Amino acid sequence: MKKSEINILYAEDESLTRMFLSKCLGRYGSVVQAVDGQDALEKFETEKFDLIVTDISMPRMDGFTLIKQIKEKSPDIPCIVTTAYREGYESLRDLATFLEKPIILEELYKTIEMYINE
C-alpha cells in the first residue's frame, strides 16, 4: 500500500482537533472525517478504508464500540486510537494501537508508516 493510495477514516468529536489532524493525515492520502463513532460507522459501511483513526470519548457511539464493530466486519484493518485517558482501554489493546493526547505528530506518523510498510 502506497501513501497516496490510503483512504483514512478519522473520527473525532472536537472540531479543531479533527480539522488539524485531518490535515496532518492528508499527507498519506484521502481523509474522511466523522464527527462521532456513529457517523464513522455509517461511513465505514458505505466506503472502503485502509486505516481507522478514532478518539475514544465521543457522543452517540464511543471509540471502544466503534473499533469493536469495525473489527467484527474487517478484522485486519489497522486502527489507531487517540485518547486523553491514561487507563481503561486494556480491552482494546489487541485490536488497536493507542496514542495518548496531546498527539505527538512524529508518533502518529511513525505508527501510520508501520502499518503502511507491513
Query: Which domains are delineated in the chain?
Result: 3-116 (3.40.50.2300)
**What pLDDT is stored for residue 88 in this prediction?**
62
Given strand 97-100, what is the order of strands in its sheet?
A: 29-34, 6-11, 51-55, 79-83, 97-100
Q: What's this model's pTM, rounded to 2 decimal places?
A: 0.92
Residues 14-63 pLDDT 10s? 999 999 999 999 999 999 999 999 999 999 999 999 999 999 999 999 99
Task: Please report how the helices 37-44 and 63-73 are oriented relative to each other, as an axis angle in degrees rounded to 10.
Answer: 10
The grid coordinates of residue 76 equal 485486519
Query: Is the CB of residue 8 less than 8 Å from the CB of residue 53?
Result: yes
